[in-house]
Amino acid sequence: MKTMIYERTYACGETELRLGQSTLIMGILNVTPDSFSDGGQYTNTERAVQHALQMMEDGADLIDIGGESTRPGSVEVGLEEELARVIPVIEAIHRAAPHIPISVDTYKAEVARQAVHAGAHIINDIWRGIGDPQMLTTAAELSVPIILMHNRHDRNYNNLIPDMIHDLKESITLALQAGVNGDNIILDPGIGFAKDYVENMRVMVELDELAQLGYPILLATSRKKFIRTALDLPVDDVIEGTAATVAFGIAQGCQIVRVHDVSSIKRTVQMCDAMLYGSKRE
């Protein structure tokens, strides 16, 4: 197992996010009524802002705001509805705490554009830049980092990991051709998307293959079904399982982790970083 560490600095308004010195924690803020584990909890703007502030206090480095559930069986949300969900929350967080780095979880270019103008700094695209033909040119024009998550419409893999690498390389090429700065590309293996339990497990044990593509890797496993299946536990009782996947991912080179339970996972990340980066508590 070879751990690849990439150094990057992302300007996020008043804050800089630095990769290569520690693992970054992305706190999840779903402003949706139907997300699989926290749907409906933060649809109120004031409550969403308070949760974002709490996650930052608990140790998050940035907040990921999503207005459309991507759980299996979820209903696609129209552009205007998604904008109505995410833009007021981004604006409110930006007013309350302009130092907080914000990513917007969307595959729609117009949502990404308006979100960045409202105060977001990063685009998190679950369709690796191919879900909306304008997404990659929009990311290039906005000059912001974009997270390209592995996803596809089917599971017709010939060979899972090589096929994933092929898909991600395709998106990287399209992004570069659209004018996206290579230093602004982050990859996500897409755990839980177009993959069954066995395939998710295989991706987890071969994350280092993806980490050698030349781009930082974000790992988003928090509370996902493959953990619940492995442990035979409900969605609200898998912190230890999530922590195990986070630790295993960091050991293989994942440099950002996207989680719900920030305070608990922060300790896991700190311990991993102490071993990986040689950091020590004062």
What does the pLDDT read at residue 235? 83
pLDDT band for 74, please (50, 70, 90 cuts): low
pLDDT average, residue stretch 124-148: 98
**Greatest CA separation found in the chain?**
51
CATH classification of the domain holding 198: 3.20.20.20
Write down the catalytic residue from 195, 224, 228, 266.
Answer: 224
For residue 50, being part of any structural domain is answered with yes
Residue 189 lies in a domain: yes
* 110: pLDDT strictly greater than 60: yes
- Give me the domain span that covers residue 28: 8-276
Residue 192 CB partners (closer than 8 Å, separation 6+): 200, 221, 224, 225, 226
In this predicted structure, the answer to whether residue 282 has a pLDDT above a threshold of 50 is no
Question: Once rounded to an integer, what is the mean pLDDT over residues 126-146?
Answer: 98
Q: Is the pLDDT score of 70 beyond 80?
A: no
What burial letters (b/e) apply to 162-189, b meaning 16+ CB within 10 Å?
A: eebbebbeebbebbeebebeeebbbbbb
pLDDT at 76: 80
Query: 2 in a domain, yes or no?
Result: no
According to DSSP, the residues that pair with 125 across neighbouring strands are 148
- Is residue 24 within 8 A of residue 62, CB to CB? The reply is yes
| Res 39 pLDDT > 70 | no
pLDDT band at 3 (very low <50, low <70, confident <90, very high): confident
Asked if residue 138 belongs to a domain, the reply is yes
Tokens representing 273?
């970083």
**pLDDT of amino acid 38:** 46
- CB atoms inside a 10 Å sphere around CB 74: 14
pLDDT at residue 35 in the model? 46
In a domain, 3, yes or no: no
Establish if 245 belongs to a structural domain.
yes
- In the three-class reduction of DSSP (H, G, I as helix; E, B as strand; rest coil), residue 232 is classed as coil
Tally of domains within the chain:
1
Look at residue 204 and tell me if it is in a domain: yes
Q: Can you tell me the mean pLDDT for 56-60?
A: 97
At residue 112, does pLDDT exceed 60?
A: yes
Catalytic residue list contains 258: yes
* Predicted pLDDT at 32: 81
What pLDDT is stored for residue 44 in this prediction? 81
Predicted pLDDT of residue 281: 43
Region 111-135: mean pLDDT is 97
| pLDDT above 70 (res 64) | yes
What is the distance between the alpha carbons of residues 234 and 225, in angstroms, rounded to a whole number?
A: 9
Residue 58 within any structural domain of the chain: yes
Residue count (the chain)? 282
Average pLDDT over residues 108-125: 98
- CA dist 98 and 235 (Å) reads 32
Confidence of residue 236 (pLDDT cuts 50, 70, 90): confident
> Annotated catalytic residue: which of 258, 266, 267, 281?
258
